[in-house]
Structure 1
Amino acid sequence: MYDFHTHFIPLDVLQWLKDHQKVVNAKWLKKDKNKDDFLIVNEKWGFELKKAFIDGDLYLSEQAKAGVTHSLLSPIPQLFMYDFPDEISTDISTVYNHSLAQWANSTPQNLSALGTVPLSNPDKAAQVLYDAIKLGLKGVIIGPGLTDHMLSDEFFTPFFDEANRLKAIVFIHPLLCDDPRLKRRMMPNLIGVPWETTVCATDLLLSGFIDRYPNVKILFAHGGGFLPYQIGRLDKGYEQWQLVSSNLKAPPSEYLKRFWFDTVLWNPESLEFLIKTVGEDRVVPGSDYPFDLSVWPPGGKLVLGVNSLLD
C-alpha cells in the first residue's frame, strides 16, 4: 500500500529552526501535559510536534504496523516560510530537501520524497526544484499561492516552466484560510483548508494552465477540496459564459480528470464519488499522517492512480 500524503520533519530541519529561532520567531510550548510540545512559527503556524513527525525509526515502525509499504514524504506546510525573505525560505528548502533525499535514498523500498521551494521567488524556486530532482526527489509540495498571487499568474511562469520541463510532481497543499468568518469552532481547518484548495484548483482549471503545462503532475490534497462536488456548476458556466470558456478547449469536467487527487476525505461515499468523477487512475492513497485529522492507514490501493502519477 502506498501513502502519497504524509509529512515528516528531519532532525536537520529541527536544528535549523533552533539556529534561526529568533529570525523566524519559533517557539516550543507545552500546552497539555499529556501531549508533545506545540511548535509555533511566527505567531501564525502552530501544531503539536508529535514524535512521529521527527523520529524516523518510529515513523517507519508505525508505517509497517499500518500496512503501508511505501510513503511519499512531504515537508510540512507550516515550514514553507513564504512570509519570510527569499534567503530564509531558500535556506530551509535546501536543508529540508537534502535531508529528505538522504533518508529516502537510503531506504528506497519504503520511502520516496517531495521537496519544498521558495515560492515567493519563482526563479529561485525553479532552481531549487531542479536541484531537488537531481537529489532524487519526485517533485515538490507547494502552497495554493501567495497573498497577492494566484498560481495561474504569470508571476510563477519560471517555476512552472521548469516543473513542466522536468515532468515533476507538484503537490498543492492548502494553508489555513484567513477569512475572519471562520475564526471559531476549528473552521479554519475544517472548511477553510479545503476551501483554499477549491479556489486554487478552480482558478488553475479555468485559466488554461493544463494546456500550457501538460507535463506538470498536479496533485491536490484532501480530495481536491469542494471542486469535484461542484464540477457540474462549472460545466454549466462553461456553456453560458465566455469568461469561463475562453481559456478552455473542453468542458471543465474533462480538465478535472487531468489532475490527481488524494483520498484524505474520511468518508467512503465521498471517495467513491471522487473516483467516479475523475477516474480511478487519477486518485492516489493518502493519509495526512501524522497530523490530527489523518486517515491512517490510507484507504484503498488505487494502483492505477499510483502508476499514472509515478509514470
Structure 2
Amino acid sequence: MTLRIDMHSHFFPPIGQDEAAALDVQQAPWLRIDADGQRGMIMTGKRTFRPVYRALWDPVARLEELDALGVDVQLMCATPVMFGYQYGAAAAHEWAMRMNDRALELCANARGRLMVLAQVPLQDIELACREATRAFRAGHRGVQIGNHVGPRDLDDEHLVTFLTHCANEGIPVLVHPWDMMTDGRMRKWMLPWLVAMPAETQLSMLSLILSGAFERIPRSLQLCFAHGGGSFAFLLGRVQNAWEQRDIVRENCPNPPASYVDRFYVDSAVFDAVALRLLVDTMGENRVMLGSDYPFPLGEQKIGELVASRAELSVTAKEKILGGNAQRFFGLPDVAGVRTA
C-alpha cells in the first residue's frame, strides 16, 4: 500500500489555566477538558476560543484514528493560537520551550508515527533562531511559523534572517496563516478562515517573491506553505501579467513570479478535485505534500482520499504526494511499515 505521511496536523497539549497564566493571565491559551475526557474547549484566559475533541491532545486517541484512516505517519504542529507572538520576547521564549518539550512528550510512545514541528518566539529573531536549533536537535522535524508578526511580513529583514538561519541549519519550515486580516466586515460564517486565511498565505508567498527576498535566502531552505498555498495557484497568472505590464511590480523581483515555484512546497489541503489538479499543474507533483489540517472540522476528514481518488494523477505522482515528497522534505528515515510494527 502507498505510504501516507500527513505533514500538516495540529495538537494542543493538556495545558491547564494555571500553567497558561505564567504567560498571561488574561489571554494565554489553555485547554479545558470535559469531565468525560472526550471533549474540550480551547480557552484564551476566561474566553472560549474553539471546541475540540480528544485526538487534539491525546496521542492514543490520535493513533487509533490514524489507524482507521490508513495514515502511517503524522507530523503535528502547534495550534496557531499557541504562537504567543504578542507577548514579551523572554516570556514567549520560555513558553515556546515548554510547549516544544510537551510536544515531544506526546510523541514519546508513538513508535515513530507521530512527529512534531517546533514553535519559536518569532518576535525576537535571536531567540527564535536559538529555539529552532535547540528543538531541532532535540527531535523536532522542523519549525512552524505564522505568516506574519504584527505588521511584518516574511520579506521583513528580521524574518529573512530567521529563514536564512533555518536554511543554513537544515531546518524545514512550515508557514501557517494566522491572525487573519479583517476590518470587521468578516464577522460571521467563519469568513476570516474562508476568505482572509487563503489571502494571508498568498500575501506571504508574494512578499518573498516580489520583494526580492528569495534572492537573499539560500536555495537550500526547505519551505512549505499550508492550505495548498491559499489563493496562490489560482491567481499566479494575474501576478505574472502584472509583473510583465507594470514596472512597479517587478521593481525588486528580477525574474517572472512563476519561476519561483521551485523555491517552496505546498500541502494538498484544497478539498476539491479541480483545485487539486490546478495545484499540481502549477507546482508540479514533486512539490505538493499530503496535508490534512487534522483534527479540525475544516480539515480533510478522510485524509489523503482526494489525492488517492484522482484518476488523472499517475501512480508515481500519488506516491510522491501521499508520502514520498514529505519523506524527502523533512529528511525522514524509512517509515514504511510503521503502522503495522
What is the TM-score of this pair, normalised by structure 1?
Answer: 0.90
Bigger mean CA offset, 221-230 vs 251-260:
251-260
CA distances 1:165-185 after superposition (whole Å, capped 9, x unpaired): 112211111114241221122
The answer to whether structure 1 residue 260 and structure 2 residue 280 are counterparts is: no
CA distances 1:36-61 after superposition (whole Å, capped 9, x unpaired): 33223257882113111111100111
Amino acid at match of 2:188: R
The answer to whether structure 1 residue 279 and structure 2 residue 284 are counterparts is: yes
Question: Is the CA contact 1:115–1:137 (under 8 Å) kept in the aligned structure 2?
Answer: yes
The answer to whether structure 1 residue 142 and structure 2 residue 162 are counterparts is: no
The answer to whether structure 1 residue 7 and structure 2 residue 31 are counterparts is: no
Distance 1:186 1:91 in 2: 32
Distance 1:192 1:23 in 2: 26
Question: Is the CA contact 2:180–2:196 (under 8 Å) kept in the aligned structure 1?
Answer: yes
Question: Is the CA contact 1:67–1:297 (under 8 Å) kept in the aligned structure 2?
Answer: no
**Alpha carbons of 1:5 and 1:15: their partners in 2 closer, same or farther (altered >3 Å)?**
farther
Amino acid at match of 1:186: M
Name 1:40's counterpart in structure 2: 43
Name 1:202's counterpart in structure 2: 206
The answer to whether structure 1 residue 57 and structure 2 residue 60 are counterparts is: yes
Distance 2:29 2:141 in 1: 29
Amino acid at match of 1:159: F
SS in 2 for 1:142: strand
Distance 1:133 1:43 in 2: 33
CA distances 1:92-134 after superposition (whole Å, capped 9, x unpaired): 2101212223444553531221000001111110101110111
Counterpart mapping for 1:1-311 below 5 A: 1-11=4-14, 16-17=19-20, 22=25, 24-26=27-29, 36-41=39-44, 46-104=49-107, 106-179=109-182, 180-213=184-217, 214-299=219-304, 300=307, 301=319, 302=321, 303-311=323-331
**Alpha carbons of 1:178 and 1:40: their partners in 2 closer, same or farther (altered >3 Å)?**
farther
What is the TM-score of this pair, normalised by structure 2?
Answer: 0.82
Ranked by relative contact order (alpha carbons within 8 Å, sequence separation 6 or more), the top structure is: 2
Which runs of at least 4 in structure 1 moved beyond 4 Å after TM superposition? 12-15, 18-21, 25-31, 42-45
Bigger mean CA offset, 210-219 vs 41-50:
41-50
Distance 1:261 1:253 in 2: 15
- Which one has a larger percent helix, Structure 1 or Structure 2? 1
Q: Percent identity?
A: 26
Name 2:338's counterpart in structure 1: none
Distance 1:27 1:128 in 2: 22
Distance 2:104 2:238 in 1: 42
**Alpha carbons of 1:58 and 1:138: their partners in 2 closer, same or farther (altered >3 Å)?**
same
Distance 1:178 1:232 in 2: 23
Amino acid at match of 2:263: R
SS in 2 for 1:145: coil
Amino acid at match of 1:286: G
Distance 2:330 2:29 in 1: 36
Deviation of 1:26 (Å): 4.6
Aligned length: 309
**Alpha carbons of 1:260 and 1:210: their partners in 2 closer, same or farther (altered >3 Å)?**
same
Question: Is the CA contact 1:13–1:95 (under 8 Å) kept in the aligned structure 2?
Answer: no
CA distances 1:16-48 after superposition (whole Å, capped 9, x unpaired): 3266562545576799x9x93322325788211
RMSD (Å) for aligned C-alpha atoms: 2.6
Deviation of 1:250 (Å): 2.6
Distance 1:158 1:66 in 2: 39
**Alpha carbons of 1:85 and 1:210: their partners in 2 closer, same or farther (altered >3 Å)?**
same
SS in 1 for 2:97: helix
SS in 1 for 2:241: helix
Bigger mean CA offset, 216-225 vs 80-89:
80-89
